[in-house]
Each structure stands twice: as C-alpha cells, then as structure tokens.
C-alpha cells in the first residue's frame, strides 16, 4: 500500500509563487469551489482586486513618475498576491486538500484484510450453495472443529454449539442458548431472518447474522 502523492497540493500551493501572483485569485477560487467556502471566495476576490489595482496603476503611471502613495500601493498590490498569497496557500494546503490527518498505513492494511475476509465468506457461501456435502466435509462454519479451509469467519448456526454462536457480533451466551433451544425444536434455520423471527431476537442482530452466519442443512 503506497501513500497517496501530495504533489498536486504543493503544485496548487506554489501557484502564486511561480505565476508571480497572477495565479493567486484562480487558485483561491479553486479552493472556494472545492471546499464550498465563502472565505476562500472572499480571498480570491481580494487577490483579484489587488492584482487588478496593480495592473491599473502600472499602466496609469507607465510614462511618468508615480506619487509616493501610488508607488506604495503598487508595491503592496504586487507583493500581496505574490508573496503573501504563497504563504497563505501553503498555510491552508492541508485544509483545502483534506490531508491534514496523518497517513495511517495500518488502517489500509486492516481494511484490506477485512475485505479479503468478506470475499472468503462469499466464496464459502457459494460453495455451500452448490455443494452442501462438500461444505460439511470442509467444516465450513465450524471453527470449533479441526479444519484447513478458511471460510472468512462464518458460523454454521444450524450445527455449531452455543459457545461458538455466542461469538457472533451482538450475541450473548443467553441469546446463543436461546437460538440452540429453538433450533432443536424446529430442526434448523434457513436464513438470518428465520433465526431472528423464530428465536425472537432483537432486530438489530439480523444484519450480523446474515453477514457471519451460514445455514447448512
């Protein structure tokens, strides 16, 4: 797993520097659109005004000496979008591009493992659907028995003991015992919804029973 490149964010942040300030209004406008922020929109308008004022004053006093105040204004209007704009962009780069949170490669690894386990569960279900005899031989859903096949953490609710069923998310030993008692009475279940209804389980457990449970005949 590679860390995402931050090059585009630095390219954006340094736009005021390598465009001599002319790109600052546009880079801030991009930030305003990306973050839907009125503050960035106001900054874009401010930099655009400063740039426009510098261009206007430069053309106005092109062939003559500018008054002191006009000279100061031109310098400020030139340096503002250029230098201050660069500092401003670098300061808000992480906020604009959303990479202020430290990169956590451990999270990416955990997510990859979880996705792999889900894929294994799906493969085991498909195998059991087409060949339930093979599924029982491979002991799919029976972590309490010796086996080599990795089913991604499935539990065969129709055959696993209460101690294993209790390990499913949201279940308790009491609820697992209740499921086993009802299972013995009705002879087994066909789905997570069947378990929930027959054993009178809380509705919020149905999704986990569907994700981690398998119901072999």
Query: Is 188 inside any structural domain?
Result: yes
Domain boundary among 71, 97, 123: 97
| Residue 118 · residue 153 · CB < 8 Å | no
The pTM (predicted TM-score) of the whole model is: 0.52
Going by C-alpha positions, the residue among 124, 122, 116, 123 that lies closest to residue 142 is 124
119 and 72 inside one domain: no
71 and 26 inside one domain: yes
Whether the pLDDT of residue 89 is over 90: the answer is yes
For residue 2, name the pLDDT band (cuts at 50, 70, 90).
very low
Query: Is 170 inside any structural domain?
Result: yes
Query: Is 109 inside any structural domain?
Result: no
Query: Is 108 inside any structural domain?
Result: no
Domain boundary among 97, 129, 146: 97
Query: Is 26 inside any structural domain?
Result: yes
Please state, for a pLDDT cut of 70, what percent of the chain lies above it.
94
Query: Is 48 inside any structural domain?
Result: yes
52 and 143 inside one domain: no
Rounded mean pLDDT, 190-214: 92
pLDDT of residue 101: 52
Query: Is 155 inside any structural domain?
Result: yes
How many other CB atoms are found less than 10 A from the CB of residue 203? 9
131 and 161 inside one domain: yes
**91-120 tens-digit pLDDT:** 999 888 875 455 556 677 888 888 999 999
91: CB partners within 8 A, 6+ apart: none
119 and 210 inside one domain: yes
87 and 133 inside one domain: no
Please state, for a pLDDT cut of 90, what percent of the chain lies above it.
71
141 and 179 inside one domain: yes
Residue 34, domain extent: 7-97
Number of domains into which the chain is organized: 2
The mean pLDDT of the chain is 89
Going by C-alpha positions, the residue among 53, 56, 97 that lies closest to residue 76 is 53
**119-151 tens-digit pLDDT:** 999 999 999 999 999 999 999 999 999 999 999
| Residue 50 · residue 22 · CB < 8 Å | no
Domain boundary among 46, 62, 97: 97
119 and 67 inside one domain: no
**157-176 tens-digit pLDDT:** 999 999 999 999 999 999 99
48 and 119 inside one domain: no
pLDDT of residue 196: 92
162 and 194 inside one domain: yes
90 and 165 inside one domain: no
DSSP secondary structure letter of residue 83: I
22 and 82 inside one domain: yes
| Residue 157 · residue 179 · CB < 8 Å | yes
Query: Is 92 inside any structural domain?
Result: yes
- Cα 90 versus chain centre, distance: 25
């Amino acid at each position: 797993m590679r860390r995402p490149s931050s090059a585009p964010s630095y390219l954006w942040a340094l736009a005021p520097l390598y465009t001599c300030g002319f790109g600052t209004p546009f880079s801030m406008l991009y930030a305003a659109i990306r973050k839907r922020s009125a503050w960035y929109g106001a900054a874009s308008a401010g930099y655009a005004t400063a740039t426009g004022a510098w261009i206007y004053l430069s053309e106005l006093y092109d062939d003559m000496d500018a008054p002191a105040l006009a000279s100061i204004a031109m310098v400020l209007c030139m340096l503002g979008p250029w230098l201050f704009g660069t500092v401003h962009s670098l300061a808000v780069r992480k906020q604009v591009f959303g990479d202020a949170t430290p990169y956590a490669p451990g999270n990416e690894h955990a997510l990859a493992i979880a996705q792999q386990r889900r894929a294994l569960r799906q493969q085991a279900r498909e195998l059991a659907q087409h060949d339930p005899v093979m599924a029982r031989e491979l002991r799919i859903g029976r972590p309490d028995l010796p086996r080599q096949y990795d089913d991604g953490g499935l539990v065969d609710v129709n055959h696993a003991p209460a101690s294993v069923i209790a390990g499913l998310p949201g279940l308790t030993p009491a609820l697992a015992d209740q499921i086993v008692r009802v299972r013995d009475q009705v002879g087994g279940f066909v789905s997570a919804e069947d378990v929930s209804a027959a054993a009178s389980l809380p509705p919020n457990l149905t999704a986990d029973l569907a994700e981690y449970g398998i119901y072999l005949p």
